[in-house]
A and B are shown apart, each in its own frame.
Chain A
Amino acid sequence: MGFSDADLQAIWLTLRLASLVTVLLLLIGTPIAWWLARTRSAWKGPVGALVALPLVLPPTVLGFYLLLAMGPNGPVGQLTESLGLGLLPFTFWGLVVASVFYSMPFVVQPIQNAIEALGERPLEAAATLRAGPWDRFLTVVVPLARPGFLTAAILGFAHTVGEFGVVLMIGGNIPGETRVVSVQIYDYVEAMDYGQAHWLAASLVIFSFLVLLVLYSLNHRQALR
């Protein structure tokens, strides 16, 4: 036995989804983390809680609301339709949007923690050394908070790979478009095809283990320095 064509398609789709989502999350999550780490605004609490919501919400709840929001009567759906983009549910881009929401806390929180741990001082020192705001971010924050960014990227990627409930809710199980590995495994189990299920499931277990192994050894090395 081995991977079927459908499995390979699902794996490729999953990797594509997770990579794209990770890049988007770093781009979107970093300013949010930056703001959360440094603001003294009264909005810090509510925004922080909102970002963390997917940590505690069942994925089905998130998926259900995304389905409503992105549907023809939802605000997001009406927006995407008026922009000529069509509706997002049952599309690859719908999964991308959903995954960005779903994996957000896994990216924002490590970066936020790293920036908070950094404190004001290195930034102030850089400012007195003639570095402007962007310069300070790129030459001081990024290198000093690198472990945080790395953790964020790895967790964001891994969490998107492992995502299931949300995909099930808004995916519609379309091969090559929304049928990711976790859904494929679920289908095998539901169809009582345990042999195929094992192949994919075990691969996912090994993948996840390796990801966490890399993460922990990186953190360990960082701690030793």
Chain B
Amino acid sequence: MKPIKTTVFALTLAAATFAAQAERVQIAVAANFTAPMKEIAEAFAQDSGHEVEAAFGSSGKFYAQIQNGAPFEILLAADAQTPAKLAEEGLALAETAFTYAKGTLVLWSKDAERIQDGPETLRAGQFRKLAIANPRLAPYGAAAMETLEHFNLVETLEPRLVKGDNIAQTYQFAATGNAELGFVALSQVYRDGALVEGSAWTVPADFHGPIQQDAILLKRGSDNAAARALLDYLKGETAREIIRRFGYTI
């Protein structure tokens, strides 16, 4: 009987020691970055022993929640404005902000035949609906509008635009075929260097302003070493490789 008792005691002790070293980080992540973040969190946990607890949602909602005391320590936003605004209001540490990923806008259709030449497809107008993210809310939406402006198509296509309230919903409109075309994020239709399905045209980066996704350390996380460690990890090669694999650039 005795040896077993000793073992149990030893295990308990070990667990207690480990818990004292391993920290938890609570982070808020833009919905479009859900898949890469899950992989990064796993890699980070393995390399550092720290645990990441992530909430996924829209940057606007996180902004409202952080303002009202939500317990997040890091924000990985879908834009650059939200972190900047939080820093301005003293809710985040301005000097910690950095761009962790840059989005790529694509014109995408579920139909593999539809997009041979992107600009031509847009000009020809052989479609009923074009889904874009709400330009007031989502950087991808703003970029999509700028692209349409570039081609001088805003007025022609305005009546056919349907707006998703975020980029995930925009993708949904196009993926269910309710809109034949959609300006979505490359990360949504791209995996490991190839298009998952349908047809797409990658919008050249100079047709619109950059789709910059910034991360920032929130005030609540300023004393958490693990939070700072995660921010550093995001800048490292392991994370960057994952980020690129999901269709972002950096």
Contacts and interface: CB of A to CB of B under 8 A. Distances in A.
Interface stretch (A98-106, A123-131, A168-176, A204-212): A168-176
B178 A90 contact: yes
B113 to A, nearest CB: 15
A152 B137 CA distance: 37
B178 A169 contact: no
Interface in A188-218: 189-192
Given A174-B162, A187-B137, A67 B172 contact: yes
Contact of B177 (A73, A172, A173, A192): A73
Contact of A191 (B60, B162, B177): B60
Given A168-B165, A192-B63, A67 B176 contact: yes
A187 B162 contact: no
B96 interface: no
A15 interface: no
Most chain A beta carbons < 10 A, residue from B85, B163, B179: B163
Interface in A60-94: 64, 67-68, 70-73, 86-87, 89-90
Most chain A beta carbons < 10 A, residue from B58, B61, B131, B137: B137
A71 B178 contact: yes
A34 interface: no
A48 B164 CA distance: 33
Contacts of B163: 172-174
A35 interface: no
A137 interface: no
A187 B178 contact: no
A189 B60 contact: yes
Given A168-B165, A172-B162, A173-B165, A191 B176 contact: no
Contact of A186 (B128, B165, B172): B165
A173 B178 contact: no
Interface string B152-182: 0000000001111100010011001111000
Given A172-B131, A191-B137, A72 B58 contact: no
Contacts of B137: 187, 190-191
Nearest to A74: B176
A50 B174 CA distance: 29
Contacts of A73: 176-177
A143 to B, nearest CB: 45
Contacts of B173: 67, 89, 172
A173 B132 CA distance: 11
B162 A173 contact: yes
Contacts of B188: none
A72 B162 CA distance: 16
B165 A187 contact: yes
Contact of B169 (A86, A168, A189): A168
B178 A89 contact: yes
A61 B161 CA distance: 24
A90 B173 CA distance: 10
Contacts of A64: 172
B148 to A, nearest CB: 16
B169 A190 contact: no
Given A90-B129, A168-B165, A187-B137, A72 B178 contact: yes
B241 to A, nearest CB: 32
Contacts of A71: 176-178
Given A71-B177, A73-B177, A173 B134 contact: yes
A150 to B, nearest CB: 35
13 contacts: A72-B177, A73-B176, A86-B128, A87-B128, A90-B129, A170-B178, A172-B163, A172-B173, A186-B165, A190-B58, A190-B61, A190-B134, A191-B136
10 residue pairs, one from A and one from B, having the closest CB atoms = A172-B162, A190-B60, A173-B163, A71-B178, A89-B178, A190-B137, A90-B162, A71-B176, A72-B177, A191-B136
Given A173-B164, A190-B60, 6 more contacts: A64-B172, A67-B176, A90-B162, A172-B129, A172-B163, A189-B60
Interface of A: 64, 67-68, 70-73, 86-87, 89-90, 168-170, 172-174, 183, 186-187, 189-192
